[in-house]
Amino acid sequence: MSVTVFPGFVRLADGGHTLDFHLRWLRHNCDLDRHPTTGERTIDSADPPDALALLGATIDDGILRVRWAHDQRTSRFPLAWLRQHAYAVDRALPPRPPSATSTLEIDGRFGPAVVVARVLSHLAEHGAALVRREIASPESETEAWIDAFAARGLRTTATHFGRIEDLRTDNTTNANTDQLGYTDAGIDLHTDQPFLDAPPRYQLLQGIRAADTGGESILADAQAAFTYLTALDRDAAARLLSTPVRFHRKQKSFEREVIAPLVTVAEGRFQVRSSYFTAAPYQLPFDEMESWYRAHDRFVRLVRDPQHQYRFRLAPGDTLVYDNHRMLHGRTAFRGPRWVRGVYFDPAAAPRGDEDRTG
Ligand SMILES: [Fe+2]
């Protein structure tokens, strides 16, 4: 018999079977909070805090012991009692969102034209590709990447920043630089351009110059996280599909908005839009606001869990390409001359992003 702790529940492995128990169910039914002589329960399930977490869980001598984070007390459950009251036996457990950066990595020593086919197959399989390459002047290779993608039916998509973005604090080459990407601030997970009818499908990010400190890149697979959320909390996942969100980008010389759900699945194709810094104040029926916040926040906490993220340094010469309809991306704060170059791509037949409305 063994116990594994997951966000919100524990799994016992017992003689070839698994038994899952929610933390709330355990705390509601535990041996604490009982009358000392009658053994009756002295609390309601509404009494413990909303967010429950464990400091640890062990099994010894036929007893599951769990230690609670909010009050440091320990509950004891005889395994025979758990077997008798089990409600989730042999439940299929979906994989947690992936985090092993090595699965994204491609040896880029032979250059863009040679590795582009592998990049595209990584994009289809993992949602991202990280091409490792040592090169003296990475900025001289941007057009070679653009040509390599063009030969595969992907063309650049200009946005209100321009055709190629130089993400650096001393930017002189782009328009509309009054936004976080051109600062040294940390930027938490988001998708790009959710306020467009057709957000660009892929973004290429070239490491040109390293930061002195910080500037770590973060990626999370929102499609895997949504599948995982569906298995944990079907109602929350349904809320993400059905609740309209207004994404509103307002800068000094640019304004655009779109109303769309956080997640859409059209003809089997997944698309996520998520951007805490361009989400307008929610306008929902009063009796839906709390369940929306609960669903949204649960999704965001899943992807913000470092165990559900790829984290890596984009060294000078390295190139990251990710699917902006599937992956969330971000970076940690940094100091120094970090310079990352960004280019968006779309399939040649797709609607063009914001190219003809740049202003
Ligand atoms: Fe971004």
Q: What is the pLDDT of residues 298-343, one digit of tens each?
A: 999 999 999 999 999 999 999 999 999 999 999 999 999 999 999 9
pLDDT category of residue 24 using cuts at 50, 70 and 90: very high
Q: Is-contact 157 356, C-beta < 8 A? A: no
Q: 142: CA distance to ligand 1 center in Å?
A: 18
Kindly provide the residue ranges of all beta strands, DSSP E only, lying in 90-243, ordered along the sequence: 105-107, 128-132, 154-156, 165-167, 187-190, 202-209, 213-214, 217-221
Q: 309: CA distance to ligand 1 center in Å?
A: 16
Decide the pairing of beta strands 263-266 and 202-209: unpaired
- Gap between the Cα atoms of 228 and 210, Å rounded: 35
pLDDT value at residue 90: 97
| Mean pLDDT, range 241-260, rounded to an integer | 91
| Exposure string for 118-138, b = 16+ CB within 10 A, e = fewer | ebbebbeebbbbbbbbebeeb
Q: 78: CA distance to ligand 1 center in Å?
A: 50
Which residues contact residue 259 at a Cβ distance below 8 angstroms, ignoring those fewer than 6 apart? 244, 245, 246, 247
Tokens of 1: 């018999």
Percent of the chain with pLDDT over 90: 84
| Mean pLDDT, range 167-191, rounded to an integer | 87
pLDDT category of residue 357 using cuts at 50, 70 and 90: very low
Structural domains for the chain: 2-85 (3.30.2020.30), 101-222+296-357 (3.60.130.10)
Q: 4: CA distance to ligand 1 center in Å?
A: 35
Of 318, 89, 347, the C-alpha closest to 208 is 318
Residue of 161 and 21 predicted with greater confidence: 21
- Gap between the Cα atoms of 296 and 274, Å rounded: 10
Q: 315: CA distance to ligand 1 center in Å?
A: 18
Q: 167: CA distance to ligand 1 center in Å?
A: 10
The Cα angle at residue 243 between residues 52 and 199, in degrees rounded to 5: 110
- Residue 355 scores a pLDDT above 90: no
Alpha helices by DSSP H, listed for the chain, are 23-28, 79-85, 112-126, 142-150, 222-232, 234-242, 286-304
Which residues contact residue 222 at a Cβ distance below 8 angstroms, ignoring those fewer than 6 apart? 191, 263, 270, 272, 274, 303, 326, 327, 328
pLDDT value at residue 358: 35
Q: 279: CA distance to ligand 1 center in Å?
A: 14
Q: 327: CA distance to ligand 1 center in Å?
A: 11
- The tens digit of pLDDT for each residue in 135-171 reads 999 999 999 999 999 999 999 998 888 888 888 888 8
